[in-house]
Chains A and B, each alone.
Chain A
Amino acid sequence: MSDITTTLRERARALMEDGTIAAFIGWEAGRFERQTTPLICLDAADTDRLIFDEYCVNTTAKYVRDLKQRGRIGVAVRGCDSRAINRMIEDNQFKREDVYLLGIPCPQMNDRKTGTVLNKCQDCAHRNPVTYDELLGEAMEETAPQDRYARAHLVSGLDRIARQNIFNMAFERCIRCYACRDVCPCCTCRTCFVDQRNVGWLGKQDNLSENRFYGMIRAFHISDRCIECGECERACPMDLPLMAINKKLVEDMNTLFGEYESGMTTDNEDALRSFSKTDLEEFE
C-alpha cells in the first residue's frame, strides 16, 4: 500500500508542478489512528500529505464540483470514485477534460471501528476504476457480489407489516442532517427540493412523516442514476438502511426496463429519462 502512496504523491506533485492540474483531491491521515480525511491539494507542497491505505473511506469525487472553477482538477479514483465522476459528467456537472484521473485499484476499505471490510465495499462489483488517465498499481481481479440486490432482498422477503415497521423505525431515527444528500454523487441539483422553503415540499418538523417524505423522495430522485456506491449509508450518522431502499429501486428498474449499471459510461440512457413503447403494460 505504501508504494501506492509514494507513486500517488510523486504523480500528483509532478502534475501540479507542470501545470496540468490546478488542484488535486485525495486523502490525508486523520487525527486518529486508522482514520483518514479528504485532502484538497492547492499547491505542490500539499501533495506530500497524501496517503492511500485501507481506511480511505470517503468517496471524494463530489469535491470536483466545488473546485472546477480553478481549472483542471486531479482526482485519485477507485472504482466507486470513477463511477461517480462518470455520473457527474453525464449529469453535465463538468466535462471529462476538466478532470485528470489517477486510477487506483481498490483493496476494499475497512471500518475504522471494527477493522473489518466496510458494508459498502462488501457489495462492490467494480474495484478497478472504470475510467482513468493513469493507473497506479496493478489492476485487480474483480469479485462480483453473489447477489447484487442482497440488501433489498433482506427486506423484501418480509411481510408488509414487518417492512412497514422497519422503515417506520428507520425514518423515526432520521435526524434529517442531509448527509446522505451531501455525499451523493447523483444529488447535484442547484437547489434541492428540501431547501425550497417557499415551495414547501418539506416542513421543518422532525417527525416520521417529514422524514419519510425526505427519505423516500430523495431515494426516488436518484433512483435511476444511483451508482450503488453505498456512500449515503456510510455517511449516515444514525445508521439507517438507506441502501436497502436504493437497491430496491435499482432492482425494479433492472427487472422492468432492462439491465443497466449507472456510472459505467457517460452516455447511459437512464430508465426514468426515457421510455420504450414495448414497456410492460402493467396498468390497465
Chain B
Amino acid sequence: MPVVDEKKTTEEEWEPRILAFACNWCTYAGADLAGLNRMKYPANIRLLRVPCSGRVNPQYVLEALQKGCDGVLVCGCHPGDCHYSTGNYYAKRRLMIFKRFLEYVGLEPERFNVKWISASEAGRFRDTVKEFTEGVRKVGPLKESFTLAPSAGDKLFGAHNESEAPASEEGGAA
C-alpha cells in the first residue's frame, strides 16, 4: 500500500482513509466515467485496480486494515457479467465468509463491504463511495477500536517518511 499522507487521528482533523479494490473491466471504467461526467465524490477513497474481483485476496483486505486504512471496499462486476466468466462468483463466496469473520473478531460491519458496479454505472459508483465514506466516518478512526499494535502500525507506517513519531517518544521517556 502506498504511503499517501500522514495519518491524522485526532477527532477534528481526522479524515477516513479508504482503499477500494476496483475491477479493471467494470468498476474502474465506471469510476473513469464518473470522472468524465464531473461527478463529485469524497476524496477519501483510493482506487486500486485489480484484474478481477476474484484477484482480491482477503489477505490484502486485512493487511490494508491493519496498516492504516479505516475501511476497505471491494468492487467488481455484477454476478454473471464477469470478464473471466466466474471470477466474481468465487470472490463473492470468499468475501461473504471473510466479512462475517472480520465482524466476528470485532470489526464494525461498516468498515468492509463489497459492491457490484458495472462500467456504465458512474452514478452508482459515486453513491457507493459517498455512502461507504459516510459509514466509515460514523464509526470513526480504526486505530482506536481495532487496536493497531503501535510497534507494527505506527512504526511500520511512519518509519520511512518521518522520524519524529517513535523517536520523540523515546526522547520524552529519556
Chain A: residues with CB nearer than 8 A to chain B? 155-156, 160-161, 163-165, 167-168, 193, 201, 203, 205, 207-210, 212-213, 216-217, 219-220, 223, 245, 248-249, 252-253, 256-257, 271-272, 275-277, 279-284
Chain A residues positioned under 8 Å from B149 (CB to CB): 207-210
In the bound complex, do residue A213 and residue B62 qualify as a contact, i.e. CB atoms below 8 Å apart?
yes
Q: Please give the distance in Å from B82's CB to the nearest CB on chain A.
A: 11
In the bound complex, do residue B79 and residue A281 qualify as a contact, i.e. CB atoms below 8 Å apart?
yes
Q: Please give the distance in Å from A6's CB to the nearest CB on chain B.
A: 47
Q: Please give the distance in Å from B73's CB to the nearest CB on chain A.
A: 11
B3 on interface, CB distance cutoff 8 Å: no
Query: Considering the chains assembled together, what is the distance between the CA atoms of A280 and B79 in angstroms?
Result: 11
Q: Please give the distance in Å from A218's CB to the nearest CB on chain B.
A: 11
In the bound complex, do residue B101 and residue A275 qualify as a contact, i.e. CB atoms below 8 Å apart?
no
Chain B: residues with CB nearer than 8 A to chain A? 58-59, 62-63, 66, 79-80, 86, 89-90, 92-98, 100-101, 103-108, 113-116, 145-149, 151-153, 156
Q: Please give the distance in Å from B143's CB to the nearest CB on chain A.
A: 11
Closest 4 CB pairs of A and B: A164-B106, A275-B89, A209-B152, A208-B149
Residue of B nearest to A208 (CB): B149
Chain B residues positioned under 8 Å from A223 (CB to CB): 97
In the bound complex, do residue B93 and residue A279 qualify as a contact, i.e. CB atoms below 8 Å apart?
yes
Q: Please give the distance in Å from B94's CB to the nearest CB on chain A.
A: 6
In the bound complex, do residue A156 and residue B104 qualify as a contact, i.e. CB atoms below 8 Å apart?
yes
Query: Considering the chains assembled together, what is the distance between the CA atoms of A155 and B146 in angstroms?
Result: 17
In the bound complex, do residue A284 and residue B115 qualify as a contact, i.e. CB atoms below 8 Å apart?
yes
In the bound complex, do residue B115 and residue A283 qualify as a contact, i.e. CB atoms below 8 Å apart?
yes
Query: Considering the chains assembled together, what is the distance between the CA atoms of A248 and B108 in angstroms?
Result: 17
In the bound complex, do residue B152 and residue A249 qualify as a contact, i.e. CB atoms below 8 Å apart?
no
Partner of B105, one of A164, A272, A277: A164
- What are 10 A-B contacts with C-beta separation under 8 Å? A163-B106, A165-B106, A205-B152, A208-B152, A213-B59, A220-B101, A252-B100, A256-B93, A275-B90, A276-B89
